Structure 1
Amino acid sequence: RFGSCAKDMIDMRHKWFLRSAEPVQQYEFINKEHYIAFQQAINSLLDNTSNDTPTLP
């Protein structure tokens, strides 16, 4: 259960970051490729955790 709780906390933090990130702020990353890789990692994480935590909004 501790692992799933940690996943939920990380998932919520990423969702909050994605909601608060403005298009201009996105390009404050080191470079565009870095941001794209970051987005892909977040998307894969959300896809993996969504199946394990159906109660998340």
Structure 2
Amino acid sequence: MEKPYKEKETIEREDFWATTSNKQLSSVQHVKTILAQHGRPDIVVPDNVLFEGGDS
């Protein structure tokens, strides 16, 4: 049985440092854009979310 074709949604924004389809990385980029200057967020992400699949 063939798997149905699933289109990847790629997030591309001028205020993001990377164009990616990785939703976890997009969330981290979003937090950075809304963080106040010198702000310090607490973010919990799965292991390797920032380095998997070349999305860095």
Larger Rg computed on CA atoms: 2
Q: TM-score range by the shorter chain?
A: 0.3 to 0.5
TM-score by length of 1: 0.35
TM-score by length of 2: 0.35
Comparing both chains, which one has the higher relative contact order based on Cα–Cα distances under 8 Å and sequence gaps of 6 or more?
1
